[in-house]
Structure 1
């Protein structure tokens, strides 16, 4: 008997950063290796073309759009119980959860949430992905409310989940050490490079014209979150500028947060406006074009479970340098292309080589090809199907 699986991504969008990419890559991997033994119901808003294209290709993949009407009716039903209780002075509870309604309607056996959340229901088995517990290592990057939210909700998600998925063993170790999670409950599953969104563009040889004021530029695609470490990269660019070494950059991602505005002020303070273009959140087509036309990619992050800009650069064989944190050195596979993300001089050295030294870029490109062959295939699909079968 086939199982019905609810793939729960109601509000994932471009502003979600790597979580959107991970969710898409997970669904793409499942779709391309579909055995037909499971039916997938994807709970998602209607307007994300990437997800819709996957769903439309498979008869056993069905879009469940966000149910505003159903949610409203259920809230009204629960409110009615409170009103009757108030009027009669008796405790009368009409309680119905929206998630239970969704599960019952579609006969769901498993809810798979590919990010750090799971709905409150006891009507199905639950899978969550814990991308990181960054707040343990860098609490200063979070507001007091964010820290409280994680402190309350993350242990709850992990406790209620039947299976927890992580991408790397260092995340599993954090969950075991800091939250005392049973290691048998945690599955390490790294999605192969073949399942990246960018693979379809690259394998088809798609080319786009991309116009910019720069004849050449380096790229850093990341939202303006503190752990992405734009500030040290700006300090390195400024350090090089003061040596008359002018390096152009494109930043993609959301810069509308308080920290994003802080970074914009830093760009002005360092007088880097003529060297840096902020593109904001861009479409997949435009991002691929920006990647293809870039001289190279820089990933100066302070913390990642795994870096999608690094994976994507490797897949399209683009010269790339990155910080020496968590899984990144293992992913890039050669210390010639890593730096200390807290040291602006070390960052500047690698950025300068990447921009001006063609031989360095060629060696980086060859390294990307080598690592791509090592990383593009793995047993991820066997792992997730085994989880589904055993729940």
Structure 2
């Protein structure tokens, strides 16, 4: 069997951790075990990338000459592909305009087409063109959920889409001392007895409805509310509501951005309850990570998250404030954690995602 040379554009690791970094880390940590393939990982910060993937006989790190995305796509990557006789090059969402090998593209979602009201017009026009063109020009199109697959097929007319679902980093399943973790959070972040929501800030992420449930049920008297995520699209409804609150309630609401992976793990483990009220997702990793860490978790039941049936009575309609309030009470008294955790662990594995990937490129 001929050894395949696979290039992976890892520029996302030069920024902050997000869904695409989790996906690439999990998928390629598993694929690197296949010694019939040689991998070339490209990024600007090679030193950091090495801390993620380590050293392997079948892995070569290649450094980009520029951090400019246009230079990367037009010059850096085509040069790397030619120099290393690459068979397949793997990209997230957008592929280079010059094609000199087979392309793999993962399109995690097309939510901007399904829920246009949550995205700026220019963003929708630009990304519809880029994502559709990239999908049409690629030899292998991947996505992360049945929901996203169907929407890509619907909007782009691409019939062949392979699902390589996300899974959970094994570190989230490790045992830990809850009291020690809570002390770490208290010392570094000043938060105690808190509800946690991990997600970047966009209107579709529904931060405003969670804040309203927290305030109206007066949880601020016994708990804090912790948001972890970077700013993306301004949520005016949240901003206006938060501004109207008295200072004593604001003092129980924390917001952290640019949180590294280790601090995120600590914040997840220290929570009393993890809440994921997003209205629309291509997958939705954070509620699975908190469940893996044995944290009571309630989750939205829409779009790709409808596949998370193991959450049972802890799923809720993210547009229904009363349902959210009710599920917070149920989540705080959840007695089915072990069963849910085992079902989730069996359903989503990086081994399965890697097998689907290898089938798609064979």
TM-score range, shorter chain: 0.7 to 0.9
In structure 2, the residue matched to 1:200 is 171
String of CA shifts for 1:261-317, please: whole Å, max 9, x gaps: 763453232333122111212111111111111112000001112111012122222
Aligned-residue offset at 1:18 = 1.3
CA distance in 1, matches of 2:326, 2:270: 22
**Structure 2 unaligned regions, length at least 5:** none
- Which of residues 338, 356, 359 in structure 2 aligns to 1:386? 359
CA distance in 1, matches of 2:238, 2:259: 19
Report the TM-score, using the length of structure 2 for normalisation: 0.87
CA distance in 2, matches of 1:149, 1:105: 31
CA distance in 2, matches of 1:378, 1:98: 31
Assess, with a 3 A threshold, how the Cα gap between structure 1 residues 66 and 160 changes in structure 2: closer, same or farther.
same
String of CA shifts for 1:85-113, please: whole Å, max 9, x gaps: xxxxxxxxxxx844322211122111011
- Which of residues 84, 91, 99 in structure 1 aligns to 2:77? 99
CA distance in 2, matches of 1:329, 1:170: 9
Superposition pairs for residues 122-201 of structure 1, below 5 Å?
A: 122-181=99-158, 183=159, 185-193=160-168, 196=169, 199-200=170-171
Q: Secondary structure at the match of 1:154?
A: helix
The 8 Å contact of residues 296 and 319 in structure 1, kept in 2 or not, is answered as yes
- Which of residues 290, 308, 314 in structure 1 aligns to 2:291? 314
CA distance in 2, matches of 1:17, 1:160: 26
The 8 Å contact of residues 109 and 124 in structure 1, kept in 2 or not, is answered as yes
Assess, with a 3 A threshold, how the Cα gap between structure 1 residues 375 and 71 changes in structure 2: closer, same or farther.
closer
In structure 1, the residue matched to 2:24 is 23
CA distance in 2, matches of 1:383, 1:277: 40
Report the TM-score, using the length of structure 1 for normalisation: 0.81
Where in structure 1 do 4 or more consecutive aligned residues deviate above 4 Å?
A: 69-72, 204-208, 243-246
String of CA shifts for 1:160-197, please: whole Å, max 9, x gaps: 0101001122222212222211x2x311121443xx2x
The 8 Å contact of residues 223 and 252 in structure 1, kept in 2 or not, is answered as yes
Superposition pairs for residues 199-218 of structure 1, below 5 Å?
A: 199-200=170-171, 202-203=173-174, 205=176, 208=181, 209-211=184-186, 212-218=189-195
The 8 Å contact of residues 41 and 59 in structure 2, kept in 1 or not, is answered as yes
String of CA shifts for 1:37-63, please: whole Å, max 9, x gaps: 1111101121674x3134432121111
- Structure 1 vs Structure 2 CA RMSD: 2.8
CA distance in 2, matches of 1:291, 1:364: 15
The 8 Å contact of residues 320 and 337 in structure 1, kept in 2 or not, is answered as yes
Aligned-residue offset at 1:71 = 10
CA distance in 2, matches of 1:131, 1:228: 16
In structure 1, the residue matched to 2:245 is 270
Aligned-residue offset at 1:353 = 3.6
In structure 2, the residue matched to 1:61 is 59
**Structure 1 unaligned regions, length at least 5:** 76-95
CA distance in 1, matches of 2:172, 2:260: 13
Q: Secondary structure at the match of 1:63?
A: strand
Give the total of aligned pairs: 352
The 8 Å contact of residues 165 and 189 in structure 1, kept in 2 or not, is answered as yes
- 2:272 is equivalent to residue 295 of structure 1: yes
The 8 Å contact of residues 14 and 45 in structure 2, kept in 1 or not, is answered as no
String of CA shifts for 1:134-163, please: whole Å, max 9, x gaps: 022210111121011122111101110101
Q: Secondary structure at the match of 2:318?
A: coil
The 8 Å contact of residues 13 and 48 in structure 1, kept in 2 or not, is answered as no
The structure number with the bigger radius of gyration is 1
Superposition pairs for residues 5-44 of structure 1, below 5 Å?
A: 5-13=6-14, 15=16, 17-31=18-32, 34-44=33-43
Aligned-residue offset at 1:324 = 1.1
String of CA shifts for 1:315-348, please: whole Å, max 9, x gaps: 2222100111123243242431011101111111
Structure 1 stretch 345-354 or stretch 147-156: which is displaced more?
345-354
CA distance in 1, matches of 2:321, 2:123: 29
CA distance in 1, matches of 2:69, 2:278: 39
The 8 Å contact of residues 6 and 112 in structure 1, kept in 2 or not, is answered as yes
CA distance in 2, matches of 1:71, 1:344: 41
